[in-house]
Structure 1
Amino acid sequence: MINRDLALFVKNLMPEFENSKDPNKPVSIWKELDRLRGFPEKTVVCIFRTNGCAWYKFSSCSMCGYFNDVSSGIIDENLFKQIDILKSSLNGAKVLKIFTSGSFLDPREIPKNVRDYFFESFKDSVDKILIESRTEFIKQETLDDIKRHKIPLRIAIGLESANDYIIKYSVNKGTNFNKFLSAAKLLRANNLELRTYLILKPPFISEKMAISDVISSVRAVAGYSNDVSINPMNIQKNTMVEALWKRGLYRPPRLFSLAESLLKSRDSGTEVLSYPTGGNRDRGVHNDEFDGKLLDLIVRSSLNQDFNELDEYYNSIDKSKYYMEIDLEDRMIFQSDYKKLVSHLSESVMFY
């Protein structure tokens, strides 16, 4: 379940510092569109500042930089004040998405009294809430407790891949597919909804392999998930993926790969969507040539669950260079970002 050498390496990349941000304010609050009730609508998104993910205390996932936002000194009173700030920010929105840099259902991160205060604060003002949790915190007694608040809920689990080898050696997730299945079945038995997160192109697998993995993973989880979010890799600070990327040994996935993954997963039996972070930027999913229309169609298709226009546009593009590049990469040891690698070599950068 754990590759200890990899976990230690990832941990050593994480900086030793104490976040000086105001503990009474969330990391961020913003509005975006999502379809948690089956149609696109304004959704308020909030990242609470907490003491961090339980897995981060031991190591971290290879691509996750959310530990940059945690504060070890967070107490219940800080979280109460953050909830109050969020409540004043709704402006009529009826749907909430909550992130914590970890697990909302982890009692060490969100104590039960804080969780109760959160649900009581919003039970008369919102109609749907999405929260996130690792599988180990999805327990019957916890679900019994949150169901009594009678707020329609969708719980998101970051599975990342249905392939245990990738979970262990690429993502460093500290869990496995069977634990996901157990949690998913428990949610279904309790009539609670599930959003499954999958990652497109974790480190140490080629882009061609990544497309195949994410498509097979969608099909593996479709029967348990109300929707599946395909999250293309974005480069976050102080992570192992960033360390590889800075040396030209990793390239974020291409928009073509994300479009193909969505189009080949749309008939899986559940809703498949993607709202890429950092799209068309160097640290996010991007083609060699800027393509704003393709990114826009990916998001629009995800929101409307109508992929016809995306399909038509994707198939109208000459992708011969793209196929050549991912075929070549598939034969390489590393998923190199060739332009960055050449730049490093020209500057005589040493690799360690």
Structure 2
Amino acid sequence: MNRERLPYELEASWKEKDMAGGETVDAQVLIMRTNGCCWAKAGNGGCTMCGYRSASLTGVTEEDLNKQIDLALSKYKGEPFVKIYTSGSFFDTNEIPESIRERIFSEYSGCKRILVESRPEFLTSNLVSTLPGTLTVALGMESSDEEVLRTCINKGFTAAQSKAAGELLKDGGIGVRTYLLLKPPYLTESRAIDGAVESARFADPFSDEISINPLNVQHATVVERLWKRGEFRSPWIWSLIEVMKRLSGTVNSRIMSSPSGGGSQRGVHNCGKCDHDALAAIERFSFTQDPKDLEVQCECKSTWERYMQSERLLGTADDLGRAFGSDLMIR
């Protein structure tokens, strides 16, 4: 039996490593239960890949949010980096009222770095002028291709809006982490790689960090329906490595990735034999930025190359491995 999800409890919390002040540090990560993403609740279905609506509730009060902060503080052990996620936007006052935002910034004022997420429409010059200099705002731009944003992701804003928000934050002395989605639905593997590289180059001037996020198939989403029908395959880890190799040394932003569901059929994966080593290489590179750390060997790399050739010849983004098996892909 599933336990009742209570509005005064955190959705999740854990500790991980990240960068602050040029050093690898411990980070406290919190996912707060809020009243949910305004875009997902607007009646248009929300983003095609996003399952975080399940982390939101209705009727979450300021008292509930304060209790969540109390719980977070009881778990806090002085980590210099704190990441605070909601199911939508930190600066949407329907999710995080101004009083809660101010309390969070006050309670964690001793941190070297705080990270939150927001859609660009909530970021104004007046707001930015009030933000602490230790803050980094993560912008889920996903792609610089407006057609991909509109038809593949249903993002509800444009790359130009993300750029304007990033420039506003940078001008205000606030850090910017830009999220890019590797392999939105309906794209072939090779087009997804090219798109991620192009999007990173677009985002570089207004970003401090660029996080390449391979699509993870989440429950009750458009992408899950496609995946169950064999019309979508989560990206190969080789594709993520290829994006990082192409970007390494060519952009000023830190290039990073922390894949959700890595090594599973729903997440970024290779053959299964090399997944652990390949994901470990990506984690190392995310901290060192040394392309030598991306060197991984496995015979399935040739299968990945044939897979992309087959996609191009057949003109499809369907899961060819599931449909035909690797033996039927072009050699």
TM-score bin (small chain): over 0.9
- What is the CA-CA distance between 1:281 and the residue it aligns to? 0.7
CA contact (8 A) 2:48 2:152 kept: yes
Report the equivalent of 2:7.
Answer: 23
CA distance in 2, matches of 1:334, 1:83: 47
Report the equivalent of 1:127.
Answer: 112
- Which letter does structure 2 place at the counterpart of 1:274? S
Report the equivalent of 2:269.
Answer: 286
- Which letter does structure 1 place at the counterpart of 2:263? N
SS in 2 for 1:130: strand
TM-score, normalised to structure 2's length? 0.92
**1:11-160 correspondence runs (5 A):** 20-58=4-42, 59-124=45-110, 126-147=111-132, 152-160=134-142
Q: CA RMSD in A?
A: 1.7
CA distance in 2, matches of 1:242, 1:341: 17
The yes-or-no answer on 1:233 pairing with 2:218 is no
CA distance in 2, matches of 1:138, 1:341: 45
CA distance in 1, matches of 2:117, 2:9: 19
CA distance in 2, matches of 1:216, 1:87: 40
Q: 2:197 aligns with which of 215, 238, 245?
A: 215
SS in 1 for 2:168: helix
Report the equivalent of 1:7.
Answer: none
SS in 2 for 1:313: coil
1:149-197 alpha-carbon deviations (Å, 9 max, x no partner): xx50110000000110111111110010111111111111101110000
CA contact (8 A) 2:235 2:268 kept: yes
- What is the CA-CA distance between 1:328 and the residue it aligns to? 1.1
Distance 1:37 1:331, change over 3 A: farther
Distance 1:241 1:211, change over 3 A: same
CA distance in 1, matches of 2:130, 2:114: 16
Structure with higher RCO (Cα < 8 A, 6+ apart): 1
- Which letter does structure 2 place at the counterpart of 1:207? E
CA distance in 2, matches of 1:106, 1:156: 14
1:307-326 alpha-carbon deviations (Å, 9 max, x no partner): 2131x335x86732211111
SS in 1 for 2:287: helix
SS in 2 for 1:179: helix
- Which letter does structure 1 place at the counterpart of 2:131? I
- What is the CA-CA distance between 1:303 and the residue it aligns to? 1.8
Gaps of 5+ in 1: 1-18, 344-352
CA contact (8 A) 1:30 1:45 kept: yes
The yes-or-no answer on 1:193 pairing with 2:175 is yes
- What is the CA-CA distance between 1:101 and the residue it aligns to? 0.8
Report the equivalent of 1:263.
Answer: 245
- What is the CA-CA distance between 1:305 and the residue it aligns to? 1.9
SS in 1 for 2:268: coil
- What is the CA-CA distance between 1:96 and the residue it aligns to? 0.5
Distance 1:57 1:333, change over 3 A: farther
1:205-227 alpha-carbon deviations (Å, 9 max, x no partner): 10100000000111111111001
Gaps of 5+ in 2: 326-331
CA distance in 1, matches of 2:4, 2:120: 30
Aligned length: 319
Q: 2:282 aligns with which of 298, 312, 317?
A: 298
TM-score, normalised to structure 1's length? 0.87
CA distance in 2, matches of 1:232, 1:143: 30
- What is the CA-CA distance between 1:117 and the residue it aligns to? 1.3
- Which letter does structure 2 place at the counterpart of 1:297? A
CA distance in 2, matches of 1:182, 1:332: 39
CA distance in 1, matches of 2:120, 2:220: 25
CA distance in 1, matches of 2:51, 2:302: 34
